[in-house]
A and B are shown apart, each in its own frame.
Chain A
Amino acid sequence: MTDGVRKVVLPNGLTILVLENHKAPVANFNVIYRVGSRNEQMGKTGLSHLVEHLMFRGTKKLKPEEFSNIIQENGGEDNAFTEEDLTAYFELINRDHLDVPIALEADRMANFEPKGFDSEKAVVIEERRMRTEDNPQDALSEVAQAQAYVAHPYHWPVIGWMHDVQGLTLQDALDYHRVYYSPQNALIVAVGDFSADAVIKQITETFSNISNGPKPPPVTAMEPPQEGARELVLKHAAELPAFGEAFHVPAHESPDCFALELASVILSGGKSSRLYKKLVIEKRMVVDVDASYDLLSFDPTLFWITAQMRPGIKAEDVVAAAEAEIKQLATTPVDAQELQKAKNQELAGFVFGQDSIFREAMMLGQYELIGGYKQLDQYIPSIDKVTPADVQRVAAKYLVSSNRTLGTLVPTGLLPHPSGGPGGGAVRHAPINWGMPL
């Protein structure tokens, strides 16, 4: 897949990856900054995401939202997202107009001057209300993640704690942009129906003159090993109980990552997977169940199992049933046929993912950030090498109760409390003793 990729590093440190793909007359342009909630400080959480919003609110030349209007007038769509490790801006556009996002992205890298700070912050606060306050399962994973990480910045949510976001200032955003939005901290990925030579030339001409700010400080925090099970309870407006359990696991930096990836597929990939079959089909306990793992995380990550109970089912019974499945994985080697099924699902998913040039570009970009885009070629061969003994070993090593944080959602019903609770719009999570293991 990476044979056609061209890589160029400009003198100012900007890395560029370009890949021709001629299946449709469109092009995808991505600027990925190596900054996310991982780079934030306690008390200023949510700043990466707020800056992402402000990037659409004007430059020295552009008015608020003019960026998106120009892209749309050129037959394109634009958006952005913030994660723990990175912030990505992207345009999908008619290939005849690729010069437009190239010029606009360079402008907002060099000439950031957002207008209307207060109203944009209000929009972000509404986003938090929508995504988290009014979404019981998201609220649960937020507090469970905070309990799992006590020392590493993965402790706080990408969108930030409500009070932190409310306190962020325009100066915070300007300072943050100056440090993190520089060529040396950015990666450009372009995939589409164009000539790679011409696009490299155009990107080079447009971005070469942008100078760097101060060097971004490294993230040095490291999560200490967990020594003993942690548990927490969230009381939240909901009808159905839910739980989320998280185990500390290594990411791409460990060869165990491929066996962990396959373990997640064996547990919840498709209707024949173990957890789906047991909890949804046979025991009829849950609405849905999911095991998830992201090996592309910069720092050691979490292996999650989440489920929402059916009416009348107790979370503790489901937790026990899920635990039995995990124990099975750790004590008995997985059948060769079942492992091959998981590998086939991985291979198919890998091919299906290339049908979208956006996903193709993001894959290249994420691999480049963790050590080089060419590693992408090793993904399927590495998956193929995993043995039943590998899966058993990683399950026994990582998916154990002493390494687990278990969060349970206790529903308080959907109707408001007569007293009105802690006051309109306030964060209504039950107080949790964030940093301290129980």
Chain B
Amino acid sequence: MRRLAALCGIIGAAAIAAALLPAASARALEVKRVKLDNGMIVLISPQHNLPMVTASIGFDAGARRDPKGKEGLASLSAASLMEGTRAMSADELNRKVDFLGSAMDVGAGSDYATASFTSLKRYWRDTLKLLAGVLTDPGLRPEDISRKQAEQVAGLKAAEEQPGYVAQITFLKEVFGEGSPYGHLPDGTVDTVQKLSAQDVRDFYRQFYRPESAVAAVVGDVDADEVVKALNESLAPLTGTVAAQKPSPLPPIGSGVHLTAINRDVAQANIIMGFDGIARSNPDYYKLQVMNYILGGGGFASRLVKEVRSKAGLAYSVASYFQAALFPGSFQVVLETKNKTANEAIAMVLQQMKRIQESPVADAEMDSAKKFLIGSFPLKLDTQNSIVSFLMQVQIYGLGLDYIERYPGYIRSVTKEDVQKVARQYLHPDSYILVAVANQSEAGIKVASSAASGKQ
């Protein structure tokens, strides 16, 4: 492929999708919003073009709920739910799901834990019944939980071979602080996961898998009424709610460069530069969307790709993004370049951050950014999965069912002055965290001498 390693995968899908969510003249989506008997909100969009159904339930049980020292608990809890019910073993559940040809999973992102399935139309009730079974009456047997725990630990050890993953977990720890809601990826660390107990998982399930604080979306070859009836029947045993969580204050980033250099036998330096960012609810969200498209979010239209990749040939992949989710997330520039050009690439990124702060962007850049953000909206609603993801965000962030119609206006109203203003307010080229996983003797990462305050 010609572009872009997917870095999104390791951050948490909901958060990234939110950050990328643009909109425009999409065809109106038929959506019904219903409150189930147990208090859960469900958004349903019938799509009759293909005989299949996609559904998702987001519980307020994401990794931001992990207690300090128990990072990885939300993820282990979600995985353990997939180990069957009190009456049905994991083996039997797996065979039944596979026999229907369905895909079914429960997994934790940073904000929400998501229970989801995709099935043929003729098996959607059977698949829903299996999913509802593990949500309402899970087995949570100690031997199954310990097996999932061992799998999670093995997965973490395997991930440590990926330099991009190591850079990401290090960066999050530096920006958010250890033990904070976003300070870790959902799978936690080997140390914290090894200490978890079956009781931890059962307690987590009881506390957080509650319907009144959950949101669901169902898209596919179904009628809204039959979906509501089936959900009411199958999810009736779930009750109650979860008290909202408050974000913890972020540790201040002092002036200068805060370097963490990790030594690895790699051909490329994996670099992340950044600082704290915004929540999805921040009113500057749309201004930042336009600014970031021009800076480093717009692929080949972005300044970072033009300078670092197209002109200098230093990297295959370079991008910037705001992780705008429930709580203020981070801003990151992520790139990989051969060890020897690490310093050069870092200097280019800083130069582009300063440039967008110091000079107004060109009219052509503004025009181009707005045209893409508005015009590409239909592309975000072209599969059942993408519609489910969109509906979940509409509900979680209170965007409103008419968001599709309002979005173009939000983007059109952004001015060049706005772009420069938010660049000055939210970008900090003189005070940032720098993580470099590299062959350090080849890379020789240098930071402006007076500013450096890092550790190696």
Q: A123-B309, A357-B382 are in contact. Are A344 and B99 (CB under 8 A)?
A: yes
- Beta-carbon nearest neighbor of B305 in chain A: A65
Cα–Cα, bound, A349→B101 (Å): 7
* A354: Cβ under 8 A from any B Cβ: yes
* B385: Cβ under 8 A from any A Cβ: yes
A273→B98 contact, CB < 8 A: yes
A118→B381 contact, CB < 8 A: no
* A140: Cβ under 8 A from any B Cβ: no
- Provide the residues of chain A in CB contact with B101, threshold 8 Å: 344-349
CB distance from B363 to the nearest CB of A (A): 13
Within 8 A of A (CB), among B254-290: 263-268
Cα–Cα, bound, A124→B338 (Å): 12
* A232: Cβ under 8 A from any B Cβ: no
Q: A130-B316, A284-B147, A345-B98 are in contact. Are A240 and B379 (CB under 8 A)?
A: no
A69→B368 contact, CB < 8 A: yes
- Provide the residues of chain A in CB contact with B374, threshold 8 Å: 75
- Provide the residues of chain B in CB contact with A74, threshold 8 Å: 371, 375
Q: A118-B313, A284-B150, A341-B98 are in contact. Are A126 and B120 (CB under 8 A)?
A: no
* B3: Cβ under 8 A from any A Cβ: yes
Within 8 A of B (CB), among A239-273: 239-240, 269-273
- Provide the residues of chain B in CB contact with A281, threshold 8 Å: 90-91, 147
Within 8 A of B (CB), among A130-163: 130, 133-136
Within 8 A of B (CB), among A93-135: 93-95, 97, 116, 118-127, 129-130, 133-135
A79→B2 contact, CB < 8 A: yes
Binds A, one of B8-16, B43-51, B181-189: B43-51
A414→B94 contact, CB < 8 A: no
- Per-residue interface assignment for chain B, residues 1 to 40, with 1 indicating a CB less than 8 Å from any chain A CB and 0 otherwise: 1110100000000000000000011110000000000000
Binds A, one of B195-203, B233-241, B295-303, B353-361: B295-303
Interface centre among A65, A121, A269, A415 (most CB of B within 10 A): A65
A351→B52 contact, CB < 8 A: yes
- Provide the residues of chain B in CB contact with A122, threshold 8 Å: 313-314
How many residues of A are counted as interface, with CB atoms below 8 angstroms from the partner's CB atoms? 87
A355→B50 contact, CB < 8 A: yes
Binds A, one of B155-163, B244-252, B319-327, B423-431: B155-163
B161→A238 contact, CB < 8 A: yes
Cα–Cα, bound, A68→B259 (Å): 35
Cα–Cα, bound, A134→B99 (Å): 38
Q: A130-B5, A356-B383, A415-B265 are in contact. Are A123 and B306 (CB under 8 A)?
A: no
- Provide the residues of chain B in CB contact with A354, threshold 8 Å: 50
- Beta-carbon nearest neighbor of B312 in chain A: A119
Q: A72-B299, A345-B98, A416-B441 are in contact. Are A355 and B265 (CB under 8 A)?
A: no
CB distance from A279 to the nearest CB of B (A): 12
A270→B315 contact, CB < 8 A: no
Q: Name the one of A25, A238, A356 contacting B378, with C-beta atoms under 8 angstroms.
A: A25
CB distance from B449 to the nearest CB of A (A): 25
A352→B118 contact, CB < 8 A: yes
Cα–Cα, bound, A32→B317 (Å): 24
* B310: Cβ under 8 A from any A Cβ: yes
Cα–Cα, bound, A163→B2 (Å): 20
* B340: Cβ under 8 A from any A Cβ: yes
- Provide the residues of chain A in CB contact with B340, threshold 8 Å: 424-425
Q: A69-B368, A348-B119 are in contact. Are A239 and B267 (CB under 8 A)?
A: no
Interface centre among B50, B154, B312, B379 (most CB of A within 10 A): B154
* B75: Cβ under 8 A from any A Cβ: no
Name A's interface SS: mixed
Q: Name the one of A80, A93, A239, A269 contacting B157, with C-beta atoms under 8 angstroms.
A: A239
- Provide the residues of chain A in CB contact with B1, threshold 8 Å: 79-81
- Beta-carbon nearest neighbor of B1 in chain A: A81
- Beta-carbon nearest neighbor of A135 in chain B: B162
- Provide the residues of chain B in CB contact with A357, threshold 8 Å: 382
* B417: Cβ under 8 A from any A Cβ: no
Q: Name the one of A64, A75, A120 contacting B376, with C-beta atoms under 8 angstroms.
A: A75
* A294: Cβ under 8 A from any B Cβ: no
- Provide the residues of chain A in CB contact with B315, threshold 8 Å: 123, 126
CB distance from A434 to the nearest CB of B (A): 21
* A23: Cβ under 8 A from any B Cβ: yes
- Provide the residues of chain A in CB contact with B150, threshold 8 Å: 284, 310
Within 8 A of B (CB), among A50-88: 52-53, 56, 64-65, 68-69, 72-77, 79-81
Within 8 A of A (CB), among B113-148: 118-120, 147
A79→B158 contact, CB < 8 A: no
* A237: Cβ under 8 A from any B Cβ: yes
CB distance from A82 to the nearest CB of B (A): 8
- Provide the residues of chain B in CB contact with A72, threshold 8 Å: 298-301, 368, 371-372, 376
Q: Name the one of B26, B151, B158, B263 contacting A240, with C-beta atoms under 8 angstroms.
A: B158
Within 8 A of B (CB), among A18-69: 21-26, 52-53, 56, 64-65, 68-69
Cα–Cα, bound, A348→B377 (Å): 28
B27→A134 contact, CB < 8 A: no
Within 8 A of B (CB), among A321-360: 337, 340-341, 344-349, 351-352, 354-357
- Provide the residues of chain B in CB contact with A238, threshold 8 Å: 161
* A381: Cβ under 8 A from any B Cβ: no
* B337: Cβ under 8 A from any A Cβ: yes
Q: Name the one of A52, A95, A126, A344 contacting B337, with C-beta atoms under 8 angstroms.
A: A126
Interface centre among B1, B100, B340 (most CB of A within 10 A): B1
- Provide the residues of chain B in CB contact with A352, threshold 8 Å: 52, 103, 118
* A92: Cβ under 8 A from any B Cβ: yes
* A280: Cβ under 8 A from any B Cβ: yes
* B442: Cβ under 8 A from any A Cβ: yes
- Provide the residues of chain A in CB contact with B206, threshold 8 Å: none
CB distance from B381 to the nearest CB of A (A): 6
CB distance from A411 to the nearest CB of B (A): 8
B158→A428 contact, CB < 8 A: no
Cα–Cα, bound, A23→B383 (Å): 9
Cα–Cα, bound, A64→B313 (Å): 13
Interface centre among B47, B101, B120, B442 (most CB of A within 10 A): B101
CB distance from A61 to the nearest CB of B (A): 17
CB distance from B339 to the nearest CB of A (A): 6
Interface centre among A73, A277, A340 (most CB of B within 10 A): A73
B100→A344 contact, CB < 8 A: yes
Cα–Cα, bound, A281→B265 (Å): 32
Which residues of B are interface residues toward A (Cβ below 8 A)? 1-3, 5, 24-27, 47, 49-52, 90-91, 94-95, 97-103, 118-120, 147, 150-151, 154-155, 157-158, 160-163, 263-268, 298-301, 306, 309-317, 336-340, 367-368, 371-372, 374-379, 381-385, 439, 441-442
A-B contacts besides A272-B98, A287-B155, 4 pairs, CB < 8 Å: A134-B267, A135-B162, A348-B120, A414-B265
25 chain-A/chain-B pairs, Cβ below 8 angstroms: A64-B310, A68-B299, A73-B371, A75-B24, A75-B374, A75-B376, A76-B376, A79-B3, A121-B313, A122-B314, A123-B316, A129-B336, A134-B268, A238-B161, A270-B97, A281-B91, A308-B158, A311-B154, A311-B157, A341-B98, A344-B98, A355-B50, A414-B264, A415-B263, A415-B265
Sorted nearest first, the 8 A-B pairs with minimum C-beta distance are A75-B375, A348-B101, A122-B313, A119-B313, A237-B265, A270-B98, A68-B300, A133-B267
